[in-house]
Amino acid sequence: MVKFLLKVQGELSNVTDLQPLDTPESPYEYTFQIECTKCRTIHDKDIQINRFEKHEISGSRGEASFVFRCKECKNEHSATITRTNESFKIEDTKPVSLLEIDARGIDFIKFIPDGKFQCVGEETNTQFNEVDLEDDEWYDVDEKTNDEVSIIDVKWSITRS
């Protein structure tokens, strides 16, 4: 088993505590590009993983968030994802781990941020629950202060832990 960490960094302006909007009632569908570690085939479609779903692993008593059979080598692989207790804060200067991934037979190559994120106004605690980071930036206005809020230069990385 290989452990990966999904990390985020960026420049926050007037907001803090950036994290995926991910609850049992409204789960975040984490989207990745993956590669089979047996035959090194990059899967032709992006895959989505919901951390609240559990799938049976063939020939095992275990469960995983995602189970995948490679089209090329026919091997079955799996991954389980867990949210960390961290969020990206305005004062963070280094990447922050948002997700832990325990993978068997899969390399996680790229994260695609196509779900909703949330953050709060730095001084006002205004909730922003519709943060879209698909273009690696987001702009809005904090109506309590009439100040612009933004997240720019967002960078995602997947590292082995």
State the SS3 of the chain.
CEEEEEEEEEEEECEEEEEECCCCCCCCEEEEEEEECCCCCECCCCEEEECCCCEECCCCCCEECEEEECCCCCCEEEEEEEECCCCECCCCCCCEEEEEEEEECEEEEEEECCCEEEEEECCCCCEEEEEECCCCCEEEEECCCCEEEEEEEEEEEEEEC
Question: Using one digit for the tens of pLDDT, what is the confidence trace for 17-69?
Answer: 999 999 999 999 999 999 999 999 999 999 999 999 999 988 877 899 999 99
Amino acid at 51: R
Query: 10 pLDDT exceeds 80?
Result: yes
**Structural tokens at position 53:** 């779903």
What angle is formed at CA 109 by the lines to CA 106 and CA 110, rounded to 5 degrees? 130
Amino acid at 127: Q
Predicted pLDDT of residue 37: 95
| Structural domain boundaries in the chain | 2-160
Predicted pLDDT of residue 61: 79
CA distance 6 to 157: 6
Average model confidence (pLDDT) across the chain: 95
Q: How confident is the model at residue 104 (pLDDT cuts 50, 70, 90)?
A: very high
CA distance 90 to 111: 22
